[in-house]
Each structure stands twice: as structure tokens, then as C-alpha cells.
Amino acid sequence: MALYDTGGFELTGAIFFSGKYGSTAQYAKWIGEATSLPVLDVNDANADPSKYDFLILGSSVMIYKLTIRKWVKRNLAGIENKPVILFTVSGAPSGPKLDAWIADSLPENLTSEMEHVALRGRLDPKEINWWGRLILKIGAWKNDDPEAKKEELEGFDFMDKSSIEPIKGLVQQFQAGETTSSKLVDPSRVTLE
Ligand SMILES: Cc1cc2nc3c(=O)[nH]c(=O)nc-3n(C[C@H](O)[C@H](O)[C@H](O)COP(=O)(O)O)c2cc1C
């Protein structure tokens, strides 16, 4: 699948993450350590995606939406024309529910081209404020999956460093200029095989 020859130089990438209680930040840090890519919190003023050839976007899921969605909307010009890996951090595992929340949160031209890796996070009810606990109680009440209901009320810890492995593989491909995405890196830096 080597579509393009980068002429021997490495493409630059960065990890941009959005989370609240630390699990998305922890995954971003692990991915940063494993890939040597810089890690930026989207709340930092200097979190500028336009400086990079490819992007890893990490987002927690809250109330059926990706917390990174507003930042993506504001920075779309610097994101939409590049290869993107999205990692989500949620209570729910990968599946149609999570896919629908992603489709609801991000523009279609981005979701149709990006790679997605679903990671599972952590929830400690002691860390959540009264509003969050109320939201979770309502979610549990509406949820007809007994296992998920219990997790929403009692918390969970699915943090797993080994689950970042697929992202490491994708980054190596992106760095070598191998991507099935039609959104290729700057054409002036690559030559067609
Ligand atoms: C108020 C609240 C709402 C949440 N809503 C969802 C949800 O809709 N779907 C889901 O899968 N997980 C949900 N979660 C679980 C979080 O995605 C999970 O705890 C994640 O690890 C949090 O990431 P963070 O530690 O980076 O903030 C919710 C958690 C809280 C506190």
C-alpha cells in the first residue's frame, strides 16, 4: 500500500488531545512516548494543527459526544486536508453506538477518511461533580445494557497501555508516507511512484 515515496524524509505529526479526568491525557502521553511525537492539550493556546503533516486526535466521550468537537470545528482548515488518526476514550467499547457518536460530533469529510482506534477509559465516581453524577444516573436509567448501567453508577477502569499498539503501527505507516487516505501530505514534498 505504499502509495507515495517521501524521498527519504520523515513526515511530521503531533498528538492533540481533549479530556477532563486524565485518562485521555494518559493515553496521549503513552502514545507520545511510544512514537516520540509531541503531545498537545487542545486547551493550550499553541495547539496549532496546521504546522504538521499528519495528526493524531484524541478525544474523551461525554454524554454521547466527542469533547474535541468544538476545537476540530474551529481548526478545521488545518485538519481536513491531512491524514488523521482519531482515538476515542470512552466507557463504551467500539461498535455502532460509538460510531454514531463520532458521526454526530465530527464533519463527514473528516470521518470518511480518518483511521479510528477506540480505547476504553476510566471513571471514578468520587472524582465527578454532582452534575456529572446526575448525568451518569440518567444515562444508567436510560441504558438497557445491565453491564453498562452498573459501570455508569459504580465506575470502571479499562485503562490498558497495550491498546495503543494499532496507533503505533499507523504512525509508522504515516511517517513513511504510506496512507490509504486521499488526503495526502503536501504534494511538493512527495513524488509519485
Ligand atoms: C459526565 C460523564 C458523561 C459520560 N458520557 C459517556 C458517554 O456518553 N459514553 C461513553 O462511552 N462514556 C461516557 N463517559 C465515560 C468517559 O468517556 C470515560 O470516563 C473517559 O475515560 C473520560 O475521559 P477523561 O478521563 O479523559 O476525561 C462519561 C463520563 C462522564 C463523567
Walk along the chain (193 residues) and give the pLDDT tens digit of each residue. 344 555 556 789 999 999 999 999 999 999 999 999 999 999 998 899 999 999 999 999 999 999 999 999 999 999 998 999 999 999 999 999 999 999 999 999 999 999 999 999 999 999 999 999 999 999 999 999 999 999 999 999 999 999 999 999 999 998 888 776 555 545 455 544 4
Among protein residues, the one whose CA lies closest to atom 18 of ligand 1: 90
All CATH 3.40.50.360 domain ranges of the chain, comma separated, are: 4-121+159-179
For residue 105, give the amino acid letter: S
Query: Which helix (H) or strand (E) is 170 found in, with range?
Result: helix 165-175
Ligand 1 centroid – CA 60 distance (Å): 6
Ligand 1 neighbour 140 (Cβ under 6 A): no
Give residue 1's pLDDT. 38
Q: What are phi and psi of 60, to 5 degrees?
A: -80, 160
Q: What is the pTM of this model?
A: 0.90
The sign one gets for the Cα dihedral 168, 171, 175, 176 is positive
Q: Is residue 184 a contact partner of residue 190, using CB atoms and an 8 Å limit?
A: yes
Ligand 1 neighbour 66 (Cβ under 6 A): no
Atom of ligand 1 nearest to the CA of 26: 26
Atom of ligand 1 nearest to the CA of 98: 11
Ligand 1 centroid – CA 23 distance (Å): 10
Instruction: Assign residue 40 a region (left: φ > 0; alpha: ψ between -120 and 50; beta: otherwise).
Output: beta
Ligand 1 neighbour 64 (Cβ under 6 A): yes
The fold for domain 4-121+159-179 equals Rossmann fold (3.40.50)
Distance separating alpha carbons of residues 107 and 66, to the nearest angstrom: 12
Give residue 181's pLDDT. 56
Distance separating alpha carbons of residues 98 and 178, to the nearest angstrom: 27
DSSP helix, strand, coil percent of the chain (3-state; round to 5): 40, 20, 35
Give residue 3's pLDDT. 46
